[in-house]
Amino acid sequence: MVRIVQETVPCECNLKDEADAGIRSAMAQIIDALTKPLSPEERAPKRKEKGTASRVAFKGQLEEFNRFFYKRGWGDGLPLLPPTEAAVREMLAGTDLPPDHVVGKVVPRQGKATVEKIAINAVMAGALPTHMPILIACTEALADPRAHLGAYGTSTGSWMPFWIVNGPVRNDALVNCSSGAMNPGNIANAAIGRTMGLIVKNIGGARKAIEDMGVYGNPGKYSCLAGENEEMSPWEPLHVEQGLAKEDSAVTLFFPNCYSQIWQYGSDDKGILNTLIYNLPPGRSGLTCLLMTPTQAKTLSQKGWTKPMVRKYVYEYGRVPAYRHPVFHDGGGWTGRSPETVSPGAMDAVAIVPSTEHIRVLVLGGPGAFMGLACGGGLPGGAFVTKKISLPSGWGKLVAKYKNLVPTYERY
């Protein structure tokens, strides 16, 4: 039995008087909770009996279905599609795994992500059966301790999962890697990310203002998924950097909470690199993804730059004077020095990103002069988590069934 005492100190407060006052007001309750004898109810708490759940949660019209699911907290604020038995069965055609196979446990409430539950959330989000292999790998990434979902999914920091798809599955599942790759407009980019948001909520149990304590929220939680534009890139793709073979398909996950688009300072290699180092936000210090177009990547490559060289350059030259760095911490965890320990005139340079391993380069998008940064403070031991995607038997037939489901726009 756990007794809970509410306190009034604001989150992450560093005002001593305010913190002391809140501690003093709570101490009497804390002492009472620790020393007061247990009541009969506390000595022998009764387990809440669970009834047998029906496989059919609702019958009715589409509008009624959406209101029913929304009022029970099963949605994300946008309309859902009903996960009927037939629709879920069709979604399961995207995997050879049995419906009751547990892909992983999703924090914070350790929900068992079975294949069928993944399929149910996929139907609700509007995903296609060709997205199931990607969704299963995404769930494996969420369950990996290195992803730190337990912190990012419940933090006040409003982190968003950034999903990066590599390999042949990008084209099979119609993942957009070119113009507008960061959404909206493509089912795969929108629905895969949205499905994972529902999985975090419905299976993992990260509910807004209960477990998920994001102060502002983040629009990227609806969906932030893109494929690397491998065909137009001069470099090896991300999944190869992460240790897989080029012919493999994979998904990579990390959690930024900031995404910026920046106009390039110049179209030569110097202008491109300066755009990156001068736009790193001081004090973020976490996993950082540098987004550049195929044109920018080719310009760098022609001048002899490789992905590792770009990462090293950004780490070494992406620095600020110590007095401008609000807190110096190694990828999260408040370590090192605080503003009070740095003199206002100190000019010793502080690296914004802790190491080259905190940086990845992603080539995506279409024609244009913009670059991108996806970054945010991180946790010690955090990593870009990559999972290989396994395709089911009969994959070719499934791809052929959905290959023509693409938007056709009226041409001028």
The sign of the CA dihedral 195, 197, 202, 204 is positive
Phi-psi region of 244 (alpha: psi -120 to 50; beta: other; left: phi over 0): beta
CA distance linking residue 290 with residue 311, whole number of Å: 9
Mention every residue, 6+ apart, whose C-beta is less than 8 A from residue 337: 322, 327, 328
Cite the beta strand spans of 194-352 per DSSP E: 225-227, 250-254, 258-263, 288-292, 319-321, 349-351
Q: 356 with 309: CB under 8 angstroms?
A: no
Note the pLDDT of residue 339: 43
Of 132, 126, 89, 117, nearest to 203 by C-alpha is 117
Residue with the two structure tokens 């009751």: 100
Domain ranges of the chain: 1-37, 62-255+382-403, 260-377
The Cα–Cα gap between 203 and 253 comes to 18
Residue 115's identity, in one-letter code, is: V
Give me the pLDDT at residue 164, please.
Answer: 98
Model pLDDT, residue 330:
41
Q: Is 63 exposed, middle or buried (0-12, 13-18, 19+ CB in 10 A)?
A: exposed
- pLDDT, residue 2, reads 81
Structure tokens at 211: 């477990």
Give me 305's structure tokens.
Answer: 């730059």
pLDDT reported for residue 331: 40
Mean per-residue pLDDT pooled into runs of 10, the chain (412 residues):
86 87 91 92 82 82 96 96 97 98 97 98 98 98 95 92 98 97 94 98 95 94 97 98 98 94 96 96 85 98 98 93 55 44 56 92 97 84 93 97 93 86
